[in-house]
Structure 1
């Protein structure tokens, strides 16, 4: 029996969710955490993934972070610089064919970005397998950044398939965020601001939801904004406190600053839910330990100068947009910070801020829900990572007897359905339906049904297919 899963692997973290009994739920890893750091390290001859790799990062010479940036076929020098700056392994760039060199005292291993992604998915596959009660296929929906080309989405899907998953679809991150909150089921047209702030990137999108379908109206992507900036500011603050007390500067030691960055990142996440966090760093510099309490108020004061730069993408995507924003969806681990949440909410005080799901889990939950919906549609081919959709070029009208029904609006996508109730005399035997692109012009298709056996009134259902519109009576 097949099971439905959704995964979102970002630059700094990964999340796995499943869909059962109509509900999507996040699956914890073997350490009990709902989110797994997307960090990989080689320890001797053994690969460490997630929290062990993150914990050993300050001392490791063979760790990799932000690997997702190089999975994109259109990566640039900024992406390569980011990966080099946050990883401790050597990176070989041979005419855009990137390889990582992991060196330990026991071995030297070479790996591509695809190899690293596959290992992360394999870790999540193990977690997913342990969550299954019976054996069966693990159907998976993935999310990819909106700006990624088709080749990058295919590449991402291949990595997940090599780990054991059966990938049925790759959807965009904004679409997954809306699916997590069931926004596509809205009976009215809705405009949604989707704001994602991850570990090292940020993007803002305006998505229009109409008739169950989503259209991205505007999108802004920034590769220079992310939670790493806030972590760095907090690490600099702790380093300054340490220097004032001990007259030793951690910034002069790369190892000390790596330790500080790691603890500052943990502290940042704690302060997203608690009012204070304790930082204890053993042997920070020259054998001196450091212990300090950091309050949320102090942290918010440290990052206050950065708030304007973080809301700038949202402000820019809203410029020139004439419609009203009805809802705001926040995603990305850095959006757990209350100060940033309120800053985005204050941009649109009349919009509803959706915050019922942890921001770093939203996209995975949306993917899992999409996987569950797809498994309920066995008549359609699921093996399709393409996100392009065909739409009607004209309005379609249905005529019968002396009635005219506006069946589909221009721009309606394929597989959309519409139905209407038809009232006829109880002794009627046959009825003819005709389809028109204009109610005043000749029909382009017609069909006659025998309705003698049907209850009156009956229903006619129309379904848009690739080359025709199928009519059924019931």
Structure 2
């Protein structure tokens, strides 16, 4: 549990695929925290530029020119395996390189300070979280340690744990993780307290940059939020819409000039940037253009892009959203006429066609736009952070959350079938047990494979982990009984235990690095690395400041010498000594741009000492 009130402020972070947002309870209300550029959302991008690490706006702004070393979409890699079909598809589109690491873990490769560096998705995400933490600390004027981080409702256990690991690497104590649509519903509930009488049914339609979630829940008067069902896709969002635009432009370029862009990563980076900008424009106008000078082999590229074409390219994804919505209503056993509010969350819900299809589905029902789609998730996370950290304000204290597990959980049984222990959309926290029996005579070891998903064949689902319980007494098959217990905590993270009934021997599932988790040692190393990069970044900024100060000093001194030369108020020989010192320092700066901070600072002090007579005339 975090400390009380303002002594230990707890923040809420929406760690998004394309943009992230941070908020805090302050002055008896939730405040969205701006970053160092004054923006209320921060691009989820990290760039390695020469000797500097850029995070957020700086990284995104230089991305078209440094695409191979600018990392985005880390959320689409986190908690996944390199062999995952979605990862393989994305790799064809990313300008940066992804390789296979140990235990099928994807690793991002960049060039930094002239060397090849490899990073896990958790490390990149931790850099973004550290940026949000830093923004909060500057805003609040105090150290921040505790945070509530949101995740897509359809994230599996590995993705949730990996997100929690990223928070730990960033120096945060993750006191709670909640689902993004649930956080948005909390934001809506608190902003519309007076309008909620009794109980209302709300549907949260959350279409962001990289993930899509639908949640159906009830909000009761007094601040009780109960999730009835969730559905979604952790690989559907604005990034996919951008990709289809990029593909269309690549095809058009090839059609016009018979040249293939796909091998030119810099050109693709520039094109992606332009397509994202065009996509945003098409939400408020029916036509825009993409214009890029010297895109490939000196060829200028220009083409008109209208809203109808954009909708045609992405109609498959839009239809998938509606199909997922129907599944969610079925799971919640609710007719669409019973939904009283449809809340739009995520930047991609601004797309006119998405809104039009939603209105049609709900028989021309007006969509709720009272919450900011970019900030609602962070707002709700900050409410939960305030509650968990002990804020006594009634509006926060009374919030009660009843969430559900998004996917079924079970074990593999004979015939490679999935035996479900906890069905999807079960309220959490929860636990459930099932009994299983040995499958052959004198079996001494029982393997337990834990899966998450909805397919009948276990191998078609996501393997969370596996372990074995040994020491089974010799007996005919079917005679020895084993109890397998699944327990899901309030963060949606799973623990599995297996025990032999006749002996009482028990074993707990520990999902090791081989199963996609990071070990304690690896997390500690990443925390150490994060501190190292932070220190290096601070040193770089310190050196850059000293370099600029020395250049300013040289400029000022040279101008002052000119003035004194005209006035002849300082002896000619003294002026010559000063000029010589300034010229030597200028040459040294030109020949040694990598001079350390101490050397730059000493040169400035030396110049100030040599030129001191100028200021006493």
What TM-score does the superposition give when structure 2 sets the normalisation length? Answer: 0.55
- 2:334 paired residue among 310, 315, 322: 322
**CA contact under 8 A between 2:217 and 2:229: conserved in structure 1?**
yes
Whether 1:13 and 2:19 are equivalent positions in the alignment is yes
> Do the aligned residues in 2 keep the contact of 1:72 with 1:148 (CA within 8 Å)?
no
Aligned to 1:279: 290
How far apart, in 1, do the equivalents of 2:375 and 2:53 lie?
25
Q: Distance in 2 between matches of 1:156 and 1:291?
A: 40
The change in CA–CA distance for 1:290 and 1:69 in structure 2 (over 3 A counts) is closer
* Cα deviation, residue 388, structure 1: 7.7
Q: Following the alignment from structure 1 to structure 2, what is the Cα–Cα distance between the partners of residues 376 and 311?
A: 39
- 2:108 aligns to what? 100
C-alpha distance in structure 1 between counterparts of 2:234 and 2:27, whole Å: 38
Partner of 1:219: 230
Matched, 1:194 2:204: yes
Q: What residue in structure 2 maps to residue 334 of structure 1?
A: 348
Match of 1:288 in 2: 299
Cα separation, partners in 2 of 1:151 and 1:341, compared to 1, 3 Å: same
C-alpha deviation, 1:121, in angstroms: 0.9
The equivalent of 1:143 in structure 2 is 150
Q: Matches of residues 343-362 of structure 1 in structure 2 within 5 Å? A: 343-349=357-363, 351-362=365-376
SS at match of 2:37: coil
SS in 2 for 1:354: coil
Matches within 5 A, 1:71-470: 71-72=78-79, 77-82=84-89, 84-85=91-92, 86=94, 88-104=96-112, 106-132=114-140, 134-137=141-144, 139-148=146-155, 152-182=159-189, 185=193, 186-210=196-220, 212-239=223-250, 242=253, 248=259, 250=261, 253-274=264-285, 277-291=288-302, 294-296=305-307, 299-300=310-311, 303-304=314-315, 306-319=317-330, 321-323=333-335, 324-349=338-363, 351-377=365-391
Pick closer, same or farther for the CA change 1:389–1:103 going to 2, 3 Å. closer
Q: Distance in 2 between matches of 1:291 and 1:182?
A: 46
CA displacement at 1:338 relative to structure 2: 2.1
Asked if the contact 2:154/2:233 (under 8 Å) is kept, the reply is no
Aligned to 2:32: 26
Contact 1:65 1:83 in 2 (8 A): no
Structure 1 residues without counterparts, runs of 5 or longer: 391-410, 415-474
Say if 2:86 and 2:235, in contact at 8 Å, map to a contact too: no
Alignment CA distance shift 1:92-1:103 (3 Å): farther
Q: Which moved more, 1:167-176 or 1:307-316?
A: 307-316
2:57 paired residue number: 51
**1:272 shift after superposition:** 2.7
Query: Structure 1 CA distance, aligned partners of 2:182 and 2:339?
Result: 16
- Distance, in Å, in 1 between the alignment partners of 2:98 and 2:171 is 29
Q: Distance in 2 between matches of 1:82 and 1:292?
A: 26
Aligned to 2:524: none
Structure 1 length normalisation: TM-score?
A: 0.70
Structure 1: how far apart are the matches of 2:210 and 2:142? Answer: 37
State how far apart, in whole Å, the 2-side matches of 1:196 and 1:5 are: 22
Residue 314 of structure 1 aligns to a residue in which SS?
helix
User: 2 CA distance for matches of 1:107 and 1:359?
Assistant: 40
Distance in 2 (alpha carbons) for counterparts of 1:95 and 1:104: 25
Q: Is the 8 A contact 1:90 1:102 kept in 2?
A: no
Q: Provide the C-alpha distance between the structure 1 equivalents of 2:82 and 2:252, rounded to a whole number of angstroms.
A: 38
Aligned-pair distance for 1:67? Answer: 1.7
Of Structure 1 and Structure 2, which has the larger fraction of its residues in helix? 2
Deviations, residues 10-50 of structure 1 (Å, cap 9, x unaligned): 22221222332343343333334332222223223422223
The aligned length equals 387
Q: Give me the whole-angstrom Cα distance separating, in 2, the residues matched to 1:169 and 1:227.
A: 27
For the residue of structure 2 that corresponds to 1:7, the secondary structure is strand
1:84 Cα deviation after fit: 2.8
TM superposition shift of 1:127: 1.6
For the Cα contact (< 8 Å) 1:40–1:65, is it kept in 2? yes
Deviates more, 1:195-204 or 1:295-304: 295-304
Three-state SS of the structure 2 residue aligned to 1:181 is helix
- In the TM superposition, residue 79 of structure 1 has moved relative to its aligned partner by 4.2
Q: Which runs of 5 or more residues in structure 2 are unaligned? A: 1-5, 405-425, 430-617
Q: CA RMSD in A?
A: 3.6
Q: Cα distance, 1:8 vs. partner?
A: 1.0
Q: How many angstroms apart in 2 are the aligned matches of 1:205 and 1:64? A: 30
- What is the Cα deviation at residue 143 of structure 1? 0.8
Q: Residue 34 of structure 1: SS of its match in structure 2? A: coil
Distance in 2 of aligned mates of 1:245 and 1:84: 26
Structure-2 change in CA distance of 1:147 and 1:282 (3 Å): same
Give distance in 1, aligned partners of 2:315 and 2:145: 44
Residue pair 1:4, 1:18 contacting (<8 A) in 2 also:
yes
> Given the superposition, is the C-alpha separation of residues 149 and 233 from structure 1 closer, same or farther in structure 2, using an over 3 Å criterion?
closer
Q: 1:74 to 1:84 in 2, by over 3 A?
A: closer
Q: Distance in 1 between matches of 2:76 and 2:227?
A: 22
> Structure 1 267/24 Cα, relative in aligned 2: closer, same or farther at 3 Å?
farther
Give the whole-Å Cα distance in 2 for the aligned partners of 1:97 and 1:253: 27
- What is the match of residue 70 of structure 2? 63
1:191 CA displacement: 1.8
